[in-house]
Amino acid sequence: MFPFTPAPVRRGLQWPMPDSATRQRAASERHLQCTEVWGGNRAATEHLVVPGLDVWLYSRPCGDEAGGDVHYVSSCASGRITRLLVADVAGHGMSVDQSARALRNLIRRYVIYPDQARLVRAMNWRFTGMSREGQFATAVVGSYNAVRQRLSLSIAGHPPPLLRRAAEGRWTVLQAPEDQPHGLPLGVETTARFGEFGATLGADDMLLCYTDGLIEARRDAGEFLGIQGLMNLLDGVPAEPATLLERLVDAVESRGMRLDCDDTTIMLVRATGARYFPPLHRFLTAPGKILVSIIRSWSNR
């Protein structure tokens, strides 16, 4: 269903790449093509390359082959806009699979729009329509403009991303401004408003998005890791993006905190510092690719 191969499920302190061959495959770069939407709700370890960004993804469902965490990365027809999504959908099984497909189609349909507000509103409408079945989702949605080197974020009841400025060398919470609406998950209220805020990313600045399975890791009958605990662990992990997620998960579990009690997804984004100016042929072919993408999204409803 989704264009990647599920990674083995992690057991105990074992990272889900147990042999050198698997590690080499996971370390290889996957260059996202224009109008491609990559992701889903299955286990994955991947390194994606898009204009201006490197993206590392670790996702592991709890027990089942497919879980409630959903992740997507997409690139627009010209390659100028990259969209990032990490969501935690209530439920498991077929209902979550349907939600994952719906989110995929929405991202493809709105791939043309630099302003992500339309996408977030459409996502909220989609989940509101399923609210009778008790389905809702928390989510963080990001759009990166590789020309302006600007990242815009919208948060719907989701744990806040963490930002590391290369010049400062420490992780901080990236919070929405107090005067912006935030806090409600998708599907709770039809007329809910979702703010949009952002940050300009310099070379080697990093952003970490995650689901609550990470910060709710805990020892038996112990306290949750929490956001502050997560930042403390990150400050003690070498800021090498290619190995950061592996080292972070090992750091969590080496302290006796369990990550197998809930779905866990972590997305690490690093800015390369390079501006991207789409070549002329991409602008000329973009309308046709956008039309094909929209047709596909409607045909897969």
Query: 57 near 19, Cβ under 8 Å?
Result: no
Distance (Å, rounded) from C-alpha 14 to C-alpha 23? 13
Give me the tens of pLDDT residue by residue for the chain, a chain 301 residues long.
333 333 333 333 333 443 444 444 444 789 988 788 999 999 999 999 999 999 999 999 987 678 899 999 998 867 789 999 999 998 766 778 888 888 988 888 887 777 888 899 999 998 888 755 678 899 999 999 999 999 999 999 999 999 999 999 999 999 888 777 667 899 988 888 888 998 999 999 999 999 999 999 988 767 899 999 999 999 999 999 999 999 999 999 998 888 877 899 999 999 999 887 665 545 555 555 555 544 554 555 5
C-beta neighbour count of 284 within 10 angstroms: 10
Which of 27, 112, 94, 42 has its CA nearest to residue 72?
42
Q: Helix, strand or coil for residue 242?
A: helix
In this prediction the pTM is 0.83
Element housing 66 (H / E): strand 66-75
Which positions ≥6 away from 280 have C-beta within 8 Å? none
Token pair 């912006």 is found at 180
CB 81 within 8 A of CB 75: yes
Quick check: helix, strand or coil at residue 55?
A: strand
Strand bridging mode 44-50 / 137-145? unpaired
Q: Residue 8 burial (CB < 10 Å; 0-12/13-18/19+)?
A: middle
The partner residues of 72 in beta bridges, in order of sequence, read 39, 85
